[in-house]
Amino acid sequence: MVARGWIVFVLALAVLLSAGAAQAKRSPRFAEREAITAALPAYFRSEPVGCVWLDISVSNNGKYAIANPVYLNAVHGLCVRYAANGFWILKKTTRWKIVYTGSERPKCSLGIPRDLTPCLR
């Protein structure tokens, strides 16, 4: 009887964990990272590599991505003029397109998956 209870417990736990994992964002594949970066504004792509790191996450369904620039040397020398805040949210149709730019949470009406970012009601 105890073994049967443990089996039910383990199966229930596995279902719960797999349901949570299905909602998780993921790192982009190499080709996705290239395409997302290419879809960003030209002024951003021309910033020096040593000044900024682009933190990218893709929604579990692969249709949305968030690109968050992390400024590495924002208070030193040449990099000071590039420092800013904000992020981009992109949607993939035939190619990646920016659907949101800002530093606040996007409105829920945009339909952005919550595994990327919570929305503003």
Q: What is the pLDDT of residues 68-104, one digit of tens each?
A: 999 888 777 788 888 888 999 999 999 999 999 999 9
Q: What is the pLDDT of residues 1-12, one digit of tens each?
A: 555 555 555 455
What dihedral do alpha carbons 94, 99, 113, 66 form, nearest 10°?
90
Which residue, 44, 41, 98, 90, is CA-closest to 64? Answer: 90
Q: Is 5 exposed, middle or buried (0-12, 13-18, 19+ CB in 10 A)?
A: exposed
Mean pLDDT rounded to a whole number for the chain: 83
Residues 105-115: tens digit of each pLDDT: 999 999 999 98
Q: 């790191």: which residue's tokens?
A: 53
What confidence score (pLDDT) does residue 6 get? Answer: 53
Domain ranges of the chain: 25-110
Q: Record the pTM.
A: 0.76
- Residue 54: pLDDT above 70? yes
Helix ranges (DSSP H) in 1-121? 2-22, 30-39, 42-45
Q: Which three-class secondary structure state does DSSP give residue 86?
A: coil
